[in-house]
């Protein structure tokens, strides 16, 4: 097979394995390297020290995997329930909001298995070749590679956007020693739109294509190991794991494609309609059992409870209606039970939440 035939065959195999798009990138990422260096120098990565490790291997594929000549990129949709449904969840203060990508099975496992299957399928047709698969699990510039391979363009919120599929999708890569000709990048179509930066609750999108992770709710509820800064807690709302606001508001997500893979379609633990108080009542054993095979499990039980405590503290400020006062007494009791000495991650967050609820309505909370 010549290059065009081989690429067409790889695409066909990828689609058969459940990927929604396949592209081909080169290994020159000079502009991405410059941007990453500036982002790290500004400290916008916060406590994500792994972003600064590995030196230039992150932006030079052949240094990470010697012999790499090209990169096969893959895209797979994960949206379940739809954009309007997710927006509705954010409007329910008593309901926990979990980022849509984390409601099903851990995407790392799903994509890695399918990428390996794709590499094996290619090898079965052309013979042995060198490869290594990645999906958000190594120093790989996923968006830059996907952009270079024509799978979409980098939006102003820094995520990849596709005209045909919006942005609710996962990315994966196969570093290979096959000398595949890169696909042509697509033009960007954000234009004069700034909906994503306007919608960001914490102002983490500081300018077009600029993200200060230290203010991003996804970082604060997932990557940050310690307590969420007090000044940002009121802005968290009911988001307990991740945030989708910049995607939900993006006009291109009118074209977002629904997930077809059962692992993403099937929402675990009813996380698309879970009550904050019910989740706060989970024991550590229950958390570990329920979160097996979920990306959420990696933050640990204490961080989970701390995030929920912050959301409970925001309850009355978000929408102080009579409906939102259901279970209010039980919420106060639950927060007090988690305070302990008030010095650990959960206790401090619970103490803050009680203080915030008291500020909303002191008559309902005793000292």
**Two structure tokens written together for 40:** 């790290």
Q: By the 8 A CB rule, do 246 and 200 touch?
A: yes
- What is the reported pLDDT for 317? 75
Question: Other CB atoms closer than 10 Å to residue 321's CB: what's the count?
Answer: 10
- What is the reported pLDDT for 52? 87
Residue 150 has, within 13 A of its CA and on its CB side, a CA count of: 12
- Residue 97 sits at the vertex; the CA angle it makes with 170 and 313, to the nearest 5 degrees, is 145
- What is the reported pLDDT for 365? 58
Q: What is the pLDDT along the chain (367 residues), one digit of tens a residue?
A: 899 999 999 999 999 999 999 999 999 998 999 999 999 999 999 999 989 888 899 999 999 999 999 999 999 999 999 999 999 999 999 999 999 999 999 999 999 999 999 999 999 999 999 999 999 878 999 999 999 999 999 999 999 999 999 999 999 999 999 999 999 999 999 999 999 999 999 999 999 999 999 999 999 999 999 999 999 999 999 999 999 999 999 999 999 999 999 999 999 999 999 999 999 999 999 999 999 999 999 999 999 999 999 999 998 876 555 555 668 889 999 999 999 877 899 999 999 999 999 887 755 555 4
Q: Where are the domains of the chain?
A: 3-81+101-176, 275-367
> 3-81+101-176 has which fold?
NADH Oxidase (3.40.109)
Q: By the 8 A CB rule, do 165 and 256 touch?
A: yes
**So which residues are the catalytic ones?**
136
- What is the reported pLDDT for 44? 95
């Amino acid at each position: 097979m010549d290059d065009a035939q081989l690429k067409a065959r790889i695409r066909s195999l990828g689609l058969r394995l459940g990927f929604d798009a396949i592209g081909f990138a080169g290994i020159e990422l000079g502009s991405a390297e410059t941007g990453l260096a500036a982002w790290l120098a500004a400290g916008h990565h916060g406590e994500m020290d792994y972003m600064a490790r590995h030196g230039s291997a992150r932006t030079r594929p052949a240094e990470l995997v010697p012999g790499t000549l090209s990169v096969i990129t893959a895209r797979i949709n994960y949206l379940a329930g739809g954009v309007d449904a997710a927006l509705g969840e954010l409007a329910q203060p008593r309901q926990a909001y979990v980022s849509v990508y984390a409601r099903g099975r851990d995407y790392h496992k799903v994509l890695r298995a399918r990428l390996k299957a794709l590499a094996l399928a290619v090898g079965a047709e052309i013979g042995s070749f060198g490869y290594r698969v990645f999906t958000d699990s190594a120093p790989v510039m996923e968006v830059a590679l996907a952009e270079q391979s024509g799978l979409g363009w980098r939006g102003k919120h820094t995520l990849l956007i596709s005209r045909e599929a919006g942005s609710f999708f996962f990315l994966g890569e196969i570093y290979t020693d096959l000398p595949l000709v890169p696909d042509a990048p697509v033009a960007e179509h954000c234009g004069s739109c700034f909906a994503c930066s306007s919608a960001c609750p914490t102002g983490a999108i500081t300018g077009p294509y600029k993200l200060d992770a230290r203010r991003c709710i996804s970082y604060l509820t997932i990557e940050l190991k310690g307590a969420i800064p007090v000044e940002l807690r009121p802005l968290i709302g009911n988001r307990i794991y991740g945030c989708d606001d910049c995607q939900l508001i993006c006009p291109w997500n009118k074209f977002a494609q629904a997930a077809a893979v059962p692992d993403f379609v099937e929402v675990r633990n009813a996380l698309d309609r879970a009550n904050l108080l019910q989740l706060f009542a989970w024991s550590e054993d229950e958390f570990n059992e329920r979160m097996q095979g979920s990306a959420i499990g990696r933050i640990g039980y204490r961080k989970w409870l701390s995030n929920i405590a912050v959301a409970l503290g925001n309850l009355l400020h978000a929408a102080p209606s009579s409906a939102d006062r259901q279970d209010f007494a039980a919420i106060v009791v639950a927060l007090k039970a988690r305070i302990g000495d008030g010095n650990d991650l959960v206790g401090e967050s619970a103490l803050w939440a009680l203080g915030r609820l008291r500020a909303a309505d002191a008559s309902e909370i005793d000292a």
